[in-house]
Structures are given as structure tokens and as C-alpha cells.
Amino acid sequence: MNASGVAVEQLHQLFGLTPSNFLIVYDDFQLPLGTLRFRPEGSDGGHNGMASVIEHLGTEGIPRLRVGIAGKTCPTSERKELMASYVLSRFEKDELHTVSEMIGHAREGVLAFVEHGIEFAMNNFNRSFLI
């Protein structure tokens, strides 16, 4: 995942896609569980996979969907080993309904992005789907 930019760059070269043709979807422990955030561009926000994509495409102008995963057990520490362990762990049993709902809304949001563009997706899906 941390080297996602390699695959994205290959798609860019193979199909001649521009960065705005992509939608990078990734987990974000800085957003509460159940939250979706579409953005047309921006920094990597400390996410290694997004940093790799930005590096390989040479721009921050890449649409993305940040999917909030910060549940009640998410560490508030900046220690990388704690965050890595949290990101790779399973969701708590009582969070699974929220995760399922969020994934469904993310799916709808991705389809809206494809059909109507980033502005439409932002206006209609940037919110918390916490149940």
C-alpha cells in the first residue's frame, strides 16, 4: 500500500490518463469512523500511500476519497508503531455496522464521482455516516 504510486504511474503511462482522471480511495485515521471526504487535490496528510501517488504523478492535483477509520480504540499518539498496528487491526464488533454503511455510501460516492465529477461527489457525500 505504501508504494501505491508505482501502480498508479503505470496506469497513467499505459492509458494516458491525467491525474484528474484518477480517484484515489484510502483509509484515514485522522477522520472519525463513518466519515467520507472527497477532495479534488491536496497534500498526502501523512498517508504513505497517497505520498507515493503524489510522488509518482508529480502533482497534488489528484482527486481522492478519504475514508475515516478512527474508531474508539484509535490511539491519539503520533507514534508510528501504534498507528500502524491500529490501521492493520480489525474493526471492533460494534463498529461493523458503521463500516458496512460507510462502505455502501463510499460506493455510491465513487459512482457519483464517475458520473458527475468531484464537485457533485463533495456536495453530496462529504459527511459522517455514523450510525
- Residues 82, 28 contacting (CB under 8 angstroms): no
Q: What is the pLDDT of residue 131?
A: 55
> Residue 126 above 80 pLDDT?
yes
101-117 pLDDT, tens per residue? Answer: 999 999 999 999 999 99
- Specify the CATH class of 4-128 in words: alpha beta
d(CA 120, CA 131): 23
Give the residue among 68, 67, 70 at the shortest CA–CA distance from 107.
67
Q: Pick the residue with more confidence: 29 or 23? A: 23
Residues in CB range of 37: below 8 A, 6 or more apart: 28, 31, 65, 66, 68, 126
24-74 pLDDT, tens per residue? Answer: 999 998 899 999 999 999 999 988 899 999 999 999 999 999 999 888 777
Per-domain residue ranges of the chain: 4-128
